[in-house]
Structure 1
Amino acid sequence: MAKSFTDEDDALLSELGVEVETARPARLTPRQERIIAGFEDIQRFAEEHGRAPQHGEGRDIFERLYAVRLDRIRALEECRSLVADMDHQGLLTASPEPAPADRSELDDDELLAELGVDADQSDESVTALRHVRPFAEKRAAEEIANRQPCRDFATFKPLFEKVQEELDSGMRETRPFELKAEIQQGRFFIVGGQKAYVAEMGEITTTEHGRTDARLRVIFDNGTESNMLMRSLQRALNKDEAGRRITEPVAGPLFAKTAADGDEASGTIYVLRSRSDHPTVARNRDLVHKIGVTNMNVERRVAGARLQPTFLMADVEVVATYELYNINRTKLENLIHRIFDPARLTIEIRDRFGNPVTPREWFLVPLFVIDDAVAKIRDGSIVDYVYDPDSASLKVRGEGGAAD
């Protein structure tokens, strides 16, 4: 069943780093969901620091808070059983570090109060986990604010001057920041009222749950720099109402079959077939395809598909890929989705919490028609065609019942 085109909600969530990490029984209570969210935050701390959070006055305030929370989860059977199958790091079974004698009885609110942080006393302590999101925001803000003088700024100053000239002439423009995939080496952004240039980008790492990140060297137009994580820059741009992406000066060719000298690879169009046992998918397995664009390795992008609503909570098969060069991935993806919008599949599935989700990137269209569309995008003729679901083919606009 087709549905008219709207914003790419699910694709946007995926690129923004919202991943499903572990399958959970449906209909968890809000309290159980908060316990799971808090334990996941403790896991992220352990991944980043290589150890469990620890007590001690010399520790960061949030590390001490996490240490208290981990103690509570270990001590409460309800909490232990709820997160036990998530504990791939052995946090629950590791020997707990003894808390200082004068801190052992403190709960979250008491610890925060002692450290000078106000806590909302109207909710539960260990299960409310109301400080989880502010911690992420705090870390992002700290990384943006914690800048050092850029000793080789003379190298980058001409780049900022050229970008401003191109903005003034209209060769470049600014637009709202949308997707994490936009953060790449060599690109410019506006965050906190300053231009930011991604001068260096380390190796992209991916967790077993599909979360991606990389260490960046970001130069600012005021002569400072910051060594921050990609996800931190993403959060800062999302939080900043004036956060912007500065576009490239020219779009360049749409894409080519092979890269020419000087071409910069931009990503990959991927076409997937689902192995879901959903009745609609099972009846139309050879026609139901997900079409997306990514800057990641495609196999890495689809890792853990069975845990993610955007992949219908099922494994997938990669049936086609097309490499991109010198192109705006977001605009291309939107173009492809508009072409096949008459065949967009409306299908509702349940996420790990039992909530209904309607993925937006699945279409009832044969693979050979997708290949035909890619060929027409390559030669620029796609503007003259529309997709006709009745004949399952691309037709010239206004011809034989194809919509204008």
Structure 2
Amino acid sequence: MSDLDLDELRSELDDFAQPERKGGRSPREERIIAGFEEIQRFVEKSGHAPRHGEGGDIFERLYAVRLDRLRELEECRSLLTPFDHQGLLTGAPVASSAPVDTLDDDELLAELEGAAGSSDITKLRHVRTSAEKREAEEIASREKCLDFETFKPLFEEVQSDLDAGRRTTRRFVKDAGFLKADIHAGQFFIIGGQTAYVAQVGEPIKAPNGETDARLRVIYSNGTESDLLLRSLQRALYKDEAGRRITEPTAGPLFEEQTSDNDEASGTVYVLRSKSEHPLVTANRDILHKIGVTGGNVERRIANARLDPTFLMAEVEVVATYELYNINRAKLESVIHKIFGGARMDIEIKDRFGQPVVPKEWFLAPLFVIDEAVRRIKDGTITGYIYDRKTAQLILASAKDR
């Protein structure tokens, strides 16, 4: 690519150009002048000669490449000198951090189109900035998920929920309130034609623009996974016209999303993940969840989590909530804790006064199993089921005894 002589290429293009006008300039000369005038208009607007470098606009970089070539070719200098009222042809070439031979195919072809007489270089709408290219590469960069069998039941269950109408899909749009803060572990999306599951959300990091970001582990229904930034997934979902957020299972008779005037609000089942640095917590963070029921606001309930041994004396993250109507909260909480009793986390925490406390609502169970348990409670099929830690699934208690 670097050995390509633009002058020779122009000569080849001349075979397809209009015949030279008598007594006037050739079509090739007209194109050279037109290209130089574009550079002059850029200088008038920006106040400086076009410069190389990835930090600049792609069109400025292309103008810089073109100006370097015009300065190198004696024929072009002779033709353009009468028009060079800005002294561009006599200026020293700008030190380039992206020389012609390192431009990618899109950029070089764009420059060749300009040299061949494109009437308006700003029509090159397909040329992407470096930042856009890096973002696209991150989204597209996937590798085989070696432990996909662990996640496969989740995708099968989600598809079953969609087929049965227990879940729906919605556009991921800003005006609906679905911002990056709403992307958390356990959520499902549709992007690029694949169902995507957010398996892990890393520690918060500061993005260059000052916003908070995080590294995600995203598993796809085709058996691949990617390690990408939360903000990249957010932008990709905004841009993908077919991108969707998959909702949580819709409410059944016990958990109605839309209530009637006669319904009595009873509270919320909440599922939390701890941010504690306790060794037992860090070793099991992805599957350790607190399952509780409250009659008040969940955010207020967890506001002082770091001071409460019930919450392991640490901040917590809300990973799922389910609204309750016309139900006895205490009995429901008892049912849930009975189902997951065999997976209760055995951990002792000291409270603010140094007294030992053993929390009772933390269980070693993945979120998709908790979702299944709630769904079975909704449709009345939970009777006789318990959680089996060995298989990480709900089974009939009678089957466990065999």
Q: Which interval holds the TM-score relative to the shorter structure?
A: 0.3 to 0.5
> Which of structures 1 and 2 has the bigger CA Rg?
2
Relative CO higher for 1 or 2, CA cutoff 8 Å, sep ≥ 6?
1
